[in-house]
Structure 1
Amino acid sequence: MVSIFSPCKPTSDGRSRRRHWLRAASISASARPRKPIAKPSCRASPLSLFYVPSYDEGARFFRDGLGFEAVEDTDLGQNNRWIVVAPPRRRGATLILAVPADRNQRARIGDQTGGRVGYFLLTNDFQADYKVLRSRADGHEHVA
């Protein structure tokens, strides 16, 4: 099966696209078109989801521990929030902090990429930044 995603489709009610989950339509391999599909109008993936134990703990870790900026923190009701964090001056990936909805998602906290390295921080002075991160670690074992 192949999944086709439409992340850039505007909403009919005028609400922000970012709060709408991607909608996928699956088609079988034999039903795939033979000609290339037209190029999409969106060519960026500006947000990645990052599971955190709680919204407050996750925001605190990224803000106070890593020095990220809070781009947005909106209460969506029913104990849900839309929290977006980014490196200083938004230079790099922007992350959506999400509290897991079930046991399988909760198991991914701290193992976002299944044991692989998936997130990188760039620096001009490793030793200086390492000292700052260690001083901010506050018991977080993943800043070692």
Structure 2
Amino acid sequence: MAGVCTPVSVVTTLDGKRPHGTTVSAFASLSMEPPMVLIALDRESNLLRVLRRSGRFGLNVLGVQQTACANAFARKGDDKFTGIDWIEDSGVPRIADVPGWLACEVEDLVSGGDHVVAFGRVRAARTAPGAPLTYHQRGFGTHSAL
């Protein structure tokens, strides 16, 4: 799968007022009517445990300038938001300056091997100009038009 170019995103949720997040490359648009996306989280993920309780998540689609953010959320630990600018928007954390952001309510959680697929109904969305951060051949980059 290293040969498949994927967008890089940070999935976020709140435990009370405390933000949690993790970097993912496994997400996709699922449906336009109703608007839905899907994300895949490791079965042992701390974020998944919080997501099960909160019932909602944010999907922060990172821009090419946000490699450090992707790396910060890819590591283990509870202090991933240290040094990250964010606000609460529609009940979930939205990271500053991301080109794409969605707030979703969990519709269903489905087992998928060592991951759990979360189906989310989109409740709010924001976009901004910017090239996306992508992951390909175990490295970060961006898309360029032909």
Interval of TM-score (by shorter of Structure 1 and Structure 2):
under 0.3
TM-score by length of structure 2 reads 0.24
Structure with greater proportional strand content: 2
Return the index of the structure with the highest Cα Rg.
Answer: 1
Larger relative CO (CA 8 A, sep 6+): 1 or 2? 2
